[in-house]
A and B are shown apart, each in its own frame.
Chain A
Amino acid sequence: MALQHRSGALSNVSLEQRALNIRIKAVRMGEVQGQGYIGQALGVADVLAASYFHALTYRPDDPEWEGRDRFLLSIGHYAIALYAALMEAGILPEEELETYGMDDSRIPMSGMASYTPGMEITGGSLGHGLGIAVGMAMGLKRKNNPAFVYNLMSDGELGEGSTWEAVMSAVQWKLDNLVAIVDFNNQQADGPTRDALAVGAEAPKWEAFGWHAEEVDGNDMAALVAALDAARSLSEPKPRVIICNTTMCKGVDFLEAREITHFMRVEPDEWSKALAILEKANPQ
Chain B
Amino acid sequence: MTLASMARKYEPRIAPATRTATSAMIASLAAEGYDTVQAPFGHALIEAARSDERILGLTADLSKYTDLHVFAKALPERFYQMGMAEQLLMSAAAGLAREGFRPFATTYAVFAARRAYDFIAMAIAEENLPVSIVAALPGLTTGYGPSHQAFEDLAIFRGLPNMTIIDPCDASDIAGMVPAMLTHDGPVYARLLRGKVPSVLTRHKPDYCFQLGKAQTIREGKDALVVATGIMTMRALDAAVKLSADKIDIAVLHVPTIKPLDAEAILAEVQDGTRLVVTAENHSLNGGLSEAIAKELLLAGKAPQFRMIGLPDEFLEAGALPTLHDMYGLSVDKVAEQIKGWL
Q: B101 — which chain A residues lie within 8 A by C-beta?
A: 139, 142
Residues of B94-131 at the interface with A, using a CB-CB cut-off of 8 Å, are 94-101, 103, 118-119, 121-123, 126-127
- Measured CB to CB, the nearest residue on chain B to A120 is B98
How many Å from the CB of A268 to the closest CB on chain B? 34
Stretch at the interface among B7-15, B85-93, B144-152: B85-93
Q: Among the listed B98, B121, B127, which residue makes an inter-chain contact with A135, where contact means beta carbons less than 8 Å apart?
A: B98
How many Å from the CB of A265 to the closest CB on chain B? 29
Q: B91 — which chain A residues lie within 8 A by C-beta?
A: 128, 130-132, 134-135, 162, 166
Interface string of A116-155 (1 = CB under 8 A from B): 0000111011011011111111111011000000000000
The CA of A130 and the CA of B85, in the complex, are separated in Å by 13
- Measured CB to CB, the nearest residue on chain B to A141 is B99
Interface string of B161-190 (1 = CB under 8 A from A): 000000000000000000000000000000
How many Å from the CB of B115 to the closest CB on chain A? 10
Contact A135 B85 (CB under 8 A): no
Q: A131-B119, A131-B123, A172-B83 are in contact. Are A139 and B99 (CB under 8 A)?
A: yes
The CA of A49 and the CA of B91, in the complex, are separated in Å by 28
Give the size range of A's interface with the partner: 20 to 34
Residues of A153-172 at the interface with B, using a CB-CB cut-off of 8 Å, are 161-162, 165-166, 168-169, 172
The CA of A147 and the CA of B85, in the complex, are separated in Å by 26
Contact of B80 with A by CB under 8 A: yes
Contact A131 B122 (CB under 8 A): no
> What is the number of contacts between chain A and chain B, taking CB atoms within 8 Å?
94
- Measured CB to CB, the nearest residue on chain B to A127 is B87
How many Å from the CB of A49 to the closest CB on chain B? 26
Q: A128-B91, A131-B88 are in contact. Are A136 and B123 (CB under 8 A)?
A: no
How many Å from the CB of B59 to the closest CB on chain A? 13
How many Å from the CB of B324 to the closest CB on chain A? 32
- Measured CB to CB, the nearest residue on chain A to B99 is A139
- Measured CB to CB, the nearest residue on chain A to B80 is A138
The CA of A134 and the CA of B96, in the complex, are separated in Å by 9
Q: A131-B87, A169-B85 are in contact. Are A162 and B123 (CB under 8 A)?
A: no
Q: A277 — which chain B residues lie within 8 A by C-beta?
A: none
Contact of B265 with A by CB under 8 A: no
Contact of A113 with B by CB under 8 A: yes
The CA of A135 and the CA of B96, in the complex, are separated in Å by 5
Interface string of B60-95 (1 = CB under 8 A from A): 000000000000000000001011010110111111
- Measured CB to CB, the nearest residue on chain A to B78 is A142
Contact B85 A136 (CB under 8 A): no
Contact B83 A168 (CB under 8 A): yes
The CA of A284 and the CA of B97, in the complex, are separated in Å by 43
Contact B95 A135 (CB under 8 A): yes
The CA of A181 and the CA of B127, in the complex, are separated in Å by 23
Contact A113 B127 (CB under 8 A): yes
- Measured CB to CB, the nearest residue on chain A to B82 is A169
Contact A135 B100 (CB under 8 A): no
Residues of B within 8 A of A (CB): 80, 82-83, 85, 87-88, 90-101, 103, 118-119, 121-123, 126-127
Going nearest first, the 9 A-B pairs with the smallest beta carbon separation are A135-B95, A131-B91, A139-B99, A135-B92, A165-B85, A165-B88, A162-B87, A136-B95, A132-B95
17 cross-chain CB contacts under 8 A: A121-B98, A122-B126, A125-B118, A125-B121, A128-B91, A131-B88, A131-B90, A131-B119, A132-B91, A134-B91, A135-B98, A139-B101, A162-B88, A162-B119, A165-B87, A166-B92, A168-B85
